A and B are shown apart, each in its own frame.
Chain A
Amino acid sequence: MVVGCATATQVATSMGVSAGYITEGQKQALDKTAVKVEKAARPVSETEEYYIGRGVAATILTKYSLYRNQTVTAYVNYVGNTVVMGSPRPYTYGGYHFAVLDTDEINAFACPGGTIFITRGMLKVVSTEDQLAAVLSHEVGHVAEKHGLQAISSARWTEVVTTLATETAKAYTAAEMASLVDLFQGTVDDVFKTLVVNGYGREQELQADGLAIGCMKACGYDGRQFVSLLDRLEQTSRQASGGIFATHPDLAQRIQAAKGPGAAAASPPAPEERTTRFKKTAVSW
């Protein structure tokens, strides 16, 4: 709805000049401000989301090592790509890719654009493929709803958009580039702090939980195992701290919500193959 704001302002200021309420100079200043506000309101594009996500992923990789086990990585990507198809946003600019971090910290991170990390610590908590699907579905839910991008401070995004030149020249000036690089770092830092340090808001977590259960059901996974996963995490939290327990403090509330009206109905038992492949891969993590 912000699309017409600048045009509407220009019409209003023209009328203001005609009626003698404002001068031509004041009209021009107001029109310029309206265009700036309109530009500042523009959302992050799909490609920008992708580059921000790459920056966040690179930052995460300065803190954690990548677990380069082909069997585990392949399996996580198979489960992850299965649940992606059950999500409301199966396509992102660069697609979804799943990687394992070599740490015992219990955690998972969804970078804007679709790179999703899960730690070995989290893999050791899940006891079935359905619970692994629960973790990955939850992270895919954050990507689908662009929760990571919502962490970008509005002041910073306004500065990004207003820094962009209005000339038709295709290349950035050196000054523009230096400014954009600084703003890019700030943007990446905003998202990283939410993912790794502070955590998402309660509403975003509950939204991702709801999407995850829906996603699991759409793919044929047992949605009740989402509650089982939360129960396991809740039990583990009594002995562990940090990681997901620092960024996701409301486990009891989440368990209650997951058991609420939107709770998953019973599913047929998993076939032997699903259990076997999980157990076979789990020995490697």
Chain B
Amino acid sequence: MLLMLFLVPALCLAGETVKVKVQKASLFDQPNFFSKTVATLQFGDQLELEEAVKDWAKVKFGQQRGYIHQSALTSAKVDVKTMVFSGSSSSGASQDEVALAGKGFTPEVEKNYGKTHPEMNYALVDEIERYSVDPNSLRSFIQRGGLKVSEGQR
């Protein structure tokens, strides 16, 4: 019995629903960041977990199947905006869970904070968040540098 517990995947059991907990993530056709992108997923998208493959999850998204890195997923059974009751055994959200969903430090809090602290240059933070690297250019950078495409580590 104990051995079986150790064999349970990091996320949860196959067939369960998992959700995307990051702004944007890619669904790949292989468990590799540079394989073909099957779909682009958004925060809150629900996926059906088929199996865990090392640090990746093989999932079904609508009619599409593919792999997504587990760090983009949560197995929380309530709204992903809160991590209050992760692993809750309740089938539906309680009143408190609903109330807390979407609360905490939100864009509204940041906006009000910015109003009372004009020295905070959020425009500069936004500029930094626009720094991005094109995936094809990154693959070329890695290959030309004699590096390897990692599949993540645990």
Interface residues of A (CB under 8 A from B): 3-4, 35, 39, 42-48, 51-52, 54-55, 57-59, 61-62, 66, 73-74, 77-78, 81-82, 85-95, 97-99, 115, 129, 160-161, 164-170, 172, 177, 180-181, 184-185, 187, 214-215, 218-221, 268, 270-271, 273-274, 277
Give the complex CA separation of A46 and B106 in angstroms.
Answer: 11
Of A42, A48, A82, the contact of B105 (CB 8 Å cutoff): A48
In contact, A184 and B129 (Cβ under 8 angstroms): no
Q: Are A115 and B145 in contact (CB under 8 A)?
A: no
Query: Which of B80, B109, B120, B144 is within 8 Å of A51, CB to CB?
Result: B109
Describe B's contact surface by its main secondary structure.
loop
A66 vs B100: C-alpha distance when bound (angstroms): 37
Q: Which of B22, B85, B98 contacts A95 (CB 8 A)?
A: B22
Residues of B within 8 A of A48 (CB): 104-105
> Chain A's nearest CB lies how many Å from the CB of B116?
6
Q: Taking the nearest CB of chain B, how far is it from the CB of A212, in angstroms?
A: 11
> Are A58's CB and B124's CB within 8 A?
yes
Pick from A35, A39, A58: contact of B125, CB under 8 Å:
A58
With contacts A45-B83, A74-B133, A219-B150 known, what are 19 further pairs, Cβ within 8 A? A39-B96, A48-B105, A51-B105, A51-B107, A54-B125, A55-B110, A58-B120, A58-B124, A82-B138, A82-B145, A88-B153, A90-B33, A91-B69, A92-B22, A95-B129, A180-B109, A181-B116, A218-B148, A218-B151
Q: 8 tightest CB-CB pairs across the interface, nearest first?
A: A220-B147, A271-B146, A86-B150, A91-B72, A220-B148, A58-B120, A218-B150, A274-B145
Q: How far is the CA of A56 from the CA of B64 in the complex (A)?
A: 39
> What is the bound-complex CA distance between A42 and B76, given in angstroms?
13
**Chain A residue nearest in CB terms to B85:** A3
Nearest-CB distance from A264 to chain B (Å)? 13
Q: What is the total of A-B residue contacts with beta carbons within 8 Å?
A: 193
| Beta-carbon contact of A164 and B113 below 8 Å | no
Select which of B22, B95, B112, B119 is within 8 A of A177 by beta carbon: B112
Is the Cβ of B87 less than 8 Å from the Cβ of A3?
Answer: yes
Q: Contact: A164 with B99, CB < 8 Å?
A: yes
User: With A and B bound together, what is the CA distance between A97 and B141 in angstroms?
Assistant: 17
User: Contact: A87 with B119, CB < 8 Å?
Assistant: no
List the B side residues contacting A55 at CB < 8 Å.
110, 113, 120
CA distance A274 to B74 in the complex (A): 37
Q: Which residues of A contact B141 (CB under 8 A)?
A: 78, 82
Q: Is the CB of A66 within 8 A of B71?
A: no
Instruction: List the A side residues contacting B99 at CB < 8 Å.
Output: 164-169
Question: Which residues does chain A contribute within 8 Å of B8, judged by CB atoms?
Answer: none
